[in-house]
């Protein structure tokens, strides 16, 4: 259709990831380039630009990975920089989300009330608009953690046992914990779950919360 700019988004740092997986980002971008040029010359228009970017995985509550430790910032930098350094093609560009921001996201995503002191301290010492790179000051955040005796690694980089009571366990989002545990265990064995419109996997969705029966199951039959 004449488009010559493509954006490809990825995530690095997912549990079980290998360096081969990370380098797969480059391989896919190169394949897109080959597709573009492996056409009759008269069809090739525009100056091809493939923008690839990667965000750093942040484990979140109410997901099958709510128990995992986040990759270390060193791991993120190493993966991202190795990939960036390996891309020699002038048509392919690679950028990545700042690991320091992703680390803070991971701290607060699975935080609890103990973090409120650090949050207040960070505000008092001037942390504002942290999503803006020109004002984001990671050192100030680390200072706030230190001053309040808070260990950010405890929240971001710690693997939780399944038996641990999680700060958000009292909230009912509809899907039950047993389902998340099953999905977590399957993911660790690289087993995928098909689209549940084909087959129900009993996620335990709370029918009261969604105002009736699961929209995918009517009269005990799966619907598309």
**Do residues 180 and 62 touch, judged by C-beta distance below 8 A?**
yes
Query: Minimum distance from CB of 115 to ligand SF4 (Å)?
Result: 32
> Does 205 help bind ligand SF4 (rule: CB under 6 A)?
yes
Contact call for residues 3 and 63 (beta carbons, < 8 A): no
**Selection from 169, 173, 150, 151 nearest residue 67 by Cα:** 169
Shorter beta-carbon distance to ligand SF4: residue 5 or 218: 218
**186 contacts ligand SF4 (rule: CB under 6 A):** no
How many residues are recorded in the chain?
224
**Closer Cβ to ligand SF4, 115 or 205, answer by number:** 205
Number of other CB atoms surrounding residue 199 within 10 Å: 10
Alpha carbons 139 and 97: distance in angstroms, whole number = 18
Of 20-28, 82-90, 133-141, 201-209, the segment contacting ligand SF4 by CB under 6 A is 201-209
User: Residue 32 or residue 200: which is nearer to ligand SF4 going by CB?
Assistant: 200
CB 185 to ligand SF4: min, Å: 16
- Which CB sits closer to ligand SF4, 124 or 172? 172
80-98 as b/e: b if 16+ CB within 10 A: beebeeebeeebbebebbb
Stretch in the footprint of ligand SF4 (CB under 6 A) among 9-17, 98-106, 145-153, 194-202:
194-202
Q: Does 200 bind ligand SF4 (CB under 6 A)?
A: yes
CA angle, 84 then 76 then 72, to 5°: 165
In the 8-state DSSP scheme, what is residue 43? G
Residue from 62, 168, 184, 201 binding ligand SF4 (CB under 6 A): 201
According to the binding rule CB under 6 A, does residue 181 interact with ligand SF4?
Answer: no
Note the residues at the interface with ligand SF4 (CB under 6 A).
Answer: 196, 200-203, 205, 214, 216-217
């Amino acid at each position: 259709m004449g488009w010559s700019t493509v954006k490809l988004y990825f995530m690095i740092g997912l549990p079980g990831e290998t360096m081969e997986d990370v380098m797969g980002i480059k391989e896919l971008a190169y394949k897109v380039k080959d597709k573009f040029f492996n056409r009759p010359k008269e069809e090739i228009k525009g100056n091809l630009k493939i923008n690839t970017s990667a965000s750093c995985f942040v484990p979140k509550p109410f997901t099958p990975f709510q128990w995992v430790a986040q990759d270390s910032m060193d791991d993120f930098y190493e993966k991202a920089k190795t990939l960036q350094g390996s891309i020699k093609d002038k048509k392919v560009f690679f950028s990545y989300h700042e690991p320091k921001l992703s680390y803070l996201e991971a701290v607060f995503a699975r935080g609890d009330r103990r973090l409120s002191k650090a949050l207040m301290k960070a505000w008092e010492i001037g942390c504002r608009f942290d999503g803006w790179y020109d004002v984001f000051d990671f050192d100030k955040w680390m200072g706030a953690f230190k001053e309040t005796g808070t260990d950010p690694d405890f929240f971001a980089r710690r693997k939780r046992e399944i038996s641990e009571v999680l700060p958000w366990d009292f909230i009912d989002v509809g899907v039950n914990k047993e389902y998340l545990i099953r999905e977590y265990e399957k993911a660790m064995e690289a087993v995928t779950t098909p689209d549940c419109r084909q087959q129900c996997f009993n996620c335990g969705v709370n029918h009261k919360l969604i105002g009736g029966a699961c929209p995918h199951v009517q009269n005990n039959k799966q619907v598309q």
